[in-house]
């Protein structure tokens, strides 16, 4: 006897908003990223596979899967083979804790924000293991650079993510999204001058948090101003240098899902997640907002050039960490005023 509830649950895990949807959405996000990036550089970008090259990421994935897979003789073969699967599984797990089809995520409990930040740190450690396990000079240097980067952006990232949580008095993403909807409807019911001023103040402080979080996400995703660990022009791909075939395919797919997960986090922490005015359904709002975040990330990618590792760490510690502390002070002040 199989109940309908069970079937719905299995469908939610496997199809929508589960694995199938997430994988294809990640490929779509990669296409948006590549196309937008190319247009900003006055190039055409993906063109031939499908409508305006929309199938290009899928074609790349299949091509890489069908290529010969080489494990270097010196590499630690267990670590070398495990890391791509872990780097693929972690962002997928994160996506299940993000509200997509409604204000409540599939997995939601008090404190899942901490778990998400922990999982993001775990990806950094796996990247280090990948570089170390491939026993290649470029790989080792890339892995080390990743962990050094992590030392500098982890603090502002955590502090920026905690800001909305303090205002919402909840450490779960679903709680934060629900708080954003609630405070909007509270304001619409009773618009006074004081609540308008408070709302504008909150919005401007959280806009600062959004900026800090976006910069940290660029570092987390190893996108251009902070793509120091995989700098192709100096350390030829860094920690990825020895990977080929199906392992590289999985690494790239994992990177795409991580891009979606990062923009989903930006969306749910600062932009109200799947909530929005009525005629557009919540899932579509979520897609629109995450695509907007992906475009912000590719815009910044086109705008900047790569920093050196010590420049980046110095800049982060001297500017971004004090800024994030000022931000959290302002948040605490708001929390007292409310």
Partner 1 sequence: MTSIPFIFTLSLLIGLIFYWIGARIAPKGTKTPGKLAPYACGEDFPPVRLQVNMERFFLYTIFFMVFDILAVVLATSLARPGILPALYALIVFASVMLVLPLARW
Are 312 and 237 within 8 A, CB to CB? no
Are 161 and 220 within 8 A, CB to CB? no
What sign results for the dihedral spanned by CA atoms 136, 142, 146, 149?
A: positive
Tokens at 75, concatenated = 């590499």
Q: Which stretch binds partner 1 (CB under 8 A): 169-177, 210-218, 288-296, 299-307?
A: 169-177
Task: Report if residue 93 touches partner 1, rule: CB under 8 A.
Answer: yes
Residues 97-156 that bind partner 1 (CB under 8 A): 97, 106-107, 113-115, 134-138, 140-141, 144, 148, 151-152, 154-155
CB atoms within 10 A of CB 65: 14
Measured from the CB atom, is 170 or 268 closer to partner 1? 170
Q: Where are the alpha helices (DSSP H) in 221-303?
A: 232-235, 245-270, 282-303
Q: Residue 171 and residue 51: Cα distance in Å, rounded? A: 42
CB of 309 to partner 1, least distance (A): 9
Are 80 and 133 within 8 A, CB to CB? yes
Q: Residue 76 and residue 93: Cα distance in Å, rounded? A: 26
Task: Report if residue 54 touches partner 1, rule: CB under 8 A.
Answer: no
Measured from the CB atom, is 1 or 188 closer to partner 1? 1
Residues 6-25 that bind partner 1 (CB under 8 A): 9, 13, 19
What residue has token string 């420049």?
Answer: 311
Chosen residue from 32, 38, 58, 86 binding partner 1 by CB under 8 A: 86
Chosen residue from 68, 190, 233, 277 binding partner 1 by CB under 8 A: 68
Chosen residue from 250, 294, 297, 323 binding partner 1 by CB under 8 A: 250
CB of 290 to partner 1, least distance (A): 19
Q: Residue 255 and residue 83: Cα distance in Å, rounded? A: 13
Task: Report if residue 313 touches partner 1, rule: CB under 8 A.
Answer: yes
Residues 220-249 that bind partner 1 (CB under 8 A): 236, 241-242, 245-246, 249
Chosen residue from 40, 59, 89, 208 binding partner 1 by CB under 8 A: 89
Q: Give the distance, in angstroms, between the CA of residue 262 and the centroid of all CA atoms in the same chain.
A: 1
């Amino acid at each position: 006897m199989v109940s309908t509830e069970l079937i719905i649950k299995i469908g939610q895990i496997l199809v929508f908003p589960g694995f199938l949807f997430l994988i294809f959405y990640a490929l779509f996000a990669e296409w948006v990223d590549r196309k937008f990036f190319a247009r900003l550089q006055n190039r055409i970008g993906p063109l031939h596979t499908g409508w305006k090259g929309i199938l290009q990421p899928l074609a790349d994935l299949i091509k890489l899967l069908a290529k010969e897979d080489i494990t270097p003789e010196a590499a630690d073969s267990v670590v070398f083979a495990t890391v791509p699967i872990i780097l693929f599984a972690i962002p997928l797990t994160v996506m299940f804790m993000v509200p997509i089809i409604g204000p409540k995520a599939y997995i939601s409990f008090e404190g899942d924000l901490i778990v998400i930040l922990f999982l993001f740190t775990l990806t950094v450690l796996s990247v280090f293991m990948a570089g170390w396990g491939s026993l290649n000079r470029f790989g080792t240097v890339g892995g080390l650079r990743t962990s050094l980067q992590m030392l500098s952006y982890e603090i502002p990232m955590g502090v920026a993510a905690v800001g909305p949580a303090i205002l919402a008095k909840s450490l779960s993403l679903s709680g934060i999204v629900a708080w954003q909807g609630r405070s909007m409807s509270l304001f619409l019911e009773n618009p006074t001058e004081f609540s308008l001023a408070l709302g504008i103040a909150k919005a401007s402080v959280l806009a600062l948090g959004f900026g800090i979080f976006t910069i940290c996400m660029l570092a987390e995703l190893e996108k251009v101003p902070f793509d120091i660990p995989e700098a192709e022009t100096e350390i030829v791909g860094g920690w990825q240098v020895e990977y080929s075939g199906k392992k590289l395919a999985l690494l790239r797919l994992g990177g795409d899902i991580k891009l979606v997960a990062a923009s989903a986090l930006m969306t749910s922490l600062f932009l109200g997640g799947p909530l929005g005015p009525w005629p557009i359904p919540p899932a579509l709002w979520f897609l629109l907002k995450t695509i907007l975040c992906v475009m912000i990330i590719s815009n910044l990618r086109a705008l900047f050039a790569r920093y050196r590792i010590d420049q980046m760490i110095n800049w982060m510690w001297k500017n971004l960490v004090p800024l994030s502390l000022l931000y959290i002070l302002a948040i605490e002040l708001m929390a007292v005023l409310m």
